[in-house]
Amino acid sequence: MSLFNNLLWLELIVYTTLASSVAYWFHWQWKHRRFCELAAKLPGPKSYPLIGTASMYTPTYDGTVKKLIRNAVQYNYEPVGTWIGPIYYVSVVKPEDIQIVLNNSKALEKGYLYSFMKSLLGEGLLTAPVDKWRKHRRVIAYSFNIKFLEQLYPVFNEKHKNLVRELKRNVNSTEPFDLWDYIISTTFDTICHVAMDYQVNDKRKKHEFLSLLTVIADELVKAVNKPWLYVDSIFTMYKSFSDLGKNLKTINKLPLQLIEEKKLDFKSKREAMKSFEGQGENNDGTIKIRTFLDCLLLANETDHDFTEADVRDEVITMLFAGSDTNGTTECFCLLLLAIHQDVQNEVYDEIYNVVGDSDREMTPDDTAKLVYLEQVLKETLRLFPIISVFTRQLQDDIKLSHYVLPKGTSVTISPMVTHHCPLLYPDPYAFNPDNFSPENVANRHKYSYIAFSGGPRGCIGMKYAMMSMKLLLAEVLRNFSVHTDIKLADVKVKISDGFTRKVGGYPITIRHRDKRPSYMQNTTFLKS
């Protein structure tokens, strides 16, 4: 009798479980019916119940980006739909559709994957929800005003001359050296000075911060490929019982020390800044000096909703984005110029035509004349976009060229995919600065190039980035010629800590520059 009762109970449990599973499945199908209807229309790899698109699961972020590229090629660069567990992603590649998404007011919310980066960056401009992003962007917009940035040229010139002095240690050595440590140290010192009026004199602290920045960001990006960490409670436990939690506490030391020290300076400036409201101009029309951090501290004093945590989040976001993105691009660019000596000659000739053989400091007028150098930088960012993928979470329906994406869709946009689309760039894996000649730019859709994203939530630091990178590269190239034995085909990239990096660093050799136009120099340059 007991065995019979046990069998009855077992049978009841089985039937109840099956019935619950079926009910849950139908409920899930009904709740996600619009995604399911879209999934039936969109091209994409096969998906399975609960699991989603199994082929999209990869152990590394590199693998995910490669899958996006393969899907784009396989499905002729049309929108591709994939399920990652219960989340429906649509990958958008063509510039016409990218423009629709990035310019839509209902597509300003960052995707769920950015939630991991909040552990490091908090809710700074890069990761903040829309309402906070709008408010913070208004607060700091002044510090990215081009007139304000132009007043900082003495700082840029000082930092870049320091870089040249450091690089001289490697002149005429036959052994290649890695550019990275030199460049990242310079870009970090520069962003600290121009954005915070702060100098990190303790090299140990600077090294610790930069090292942890890479380690933590890499760990958080890896979490994207660990679906079990999408559960908040599990991710919180993971942080508590791993080195990630300890590292997150340690990395805050420098930003918090920086903020506390600058608060004291800010108080002494506060009275002088009381008259500084609105456009921020003196009576003679010149811009008053007010740093990025001053803007944050002023907001913290005058707006009770702008908290000290907000100040910290924006500071660490600026330190992260303002040093690493520039530094990586500059390293890639110098390496590409070392590989393509003919392009390096043309860049140097342009610099020579602007400043001659003098050692005078660069000015805003000089930078505006470096047109070909800007083409080279843009082509560098086309080949090696620093941010390989970004996502947006739709707050309402959006109509693309041929499909309507329902509210709640996660849209994936990959500069790495779009920038290498042969429909937009002939021979897309070749290095060709003429891709950004005025004629070619005019004949191509504006959103074919999205290295700085686009639309209202595009990168606020784009002008700063281009200006500072042109200044650094011009200073290096007017003093040295750069060389390497590797070829473009040898350059392999990895997507780590959220950024595109070159595997094996950026090895070059340098020689003192013969300060004459390239056609007058004795040095023989070999075309690649």
Domain boundaries, the chain: 1-31, 32-520
Give tens-digit pLDDT for 326-354: 999 999 999 999 999 999 999 999 999 99
* CA pair distance 270, 297, nearest whole angstrom: 10
pLDDT at residue 79 in the model? 92
Mean pLDDT of 373-381: 98
Give yes or no for residue 267 having a pLDDT over 80.
no
Residue 453 gets the label, from left (phi > 0), alpha (psi -120 to 50) or beta, of left
Radius of gyration for the alpha carbons in the chain, expressed in angstroms and rounded: 26
Helix (H, G, I), strand (E, B) or coil at 398: strand
Are 89 and 413 a contacting pair, CB within 8 Å?
A: no
pLDDT at residue 166 in the model? 96
H or E element at residue 483: strand 480-483
Cβ-based neighbour number of residue 210 at 10 Å: 22
* CA pair distance 19, 369, nearest whole angstrom: 72
Give tens-digit pLDDT for 455-488: 999 999 999 999 999 999 999 999 999 999 999 9
Give tens-digit pLDDT for 430-461: 999 999 999 999 999 999 999 999 999 999 99
Give tens-digit pLDDT for 185-214: 999 999 999 999 998 888 888 888 888 888
* CA pair distance 449, 47, nearest whole angstrom: 31
Question: Whose CA is closest to 225, among 338, 84, 348?
Answer: 84
3-state SS, one letter per residue, for 26-40: HHHHHHCHHHHHHHH
Residue 13, both tokens: 């449990």
3-state SS, one letter per residue, for 147-183: HHHHCCHHHHHHHHHHHHHHHHHHECCCCCEECHHHH
* CA pair distance 281, 523, nearest whole angstrom: 50
Are 373 and 367 a contacting pair, CB within 8 Å?
A: no
pLDDT at residue 141 in the model? 87
Span of 143-157, 381-395, 428-442, 480-494 with lowest mean pLDDT: 143-157
Q: Comparing 227 with 179, which gets the higher pLDDT?
A: 179
Give tens-digit pLDDT for 158-178: 999 999 999 999 998 889 999
Say which residues have a Cβ less than 8 Å from residue 353's Cβ, sequence separation at least 6.
369
Mean pLDDT of 507-521: 85
Q: Among residues of the chain, what percentage have pLDDT more than 90?
A: 49
pLDDT at residue 153 in the model? 93
Give tens-digit pLDDT for 273-329: 555 554 444 444 444 557 899 999 989 988 889 999 999 999 999 998 888 899 999
pLDDT at residue 392 in the model? 93
Give tens-digit pLDDT for 113-147: 788 888 888 899 989 999 999 999 999 988 888 88
3-state SS, one letter per residue, for 100-164: HHHCCHHHCEECCCHHHHHHHHCCCCCCCCHHHHHHHHHHHHHHHCHHHHHCCHHHHHHHHHHHH
* Mean pLDDT estimate for the chain: 86
pLDDT at residue 26 in the model? 63
Homologous superfamily, domain 32-520: Cytochrome P450 (1.10.630.10)
Residue 41, both tokens: 């229309």
Mean pLDDT of 232-250: 85
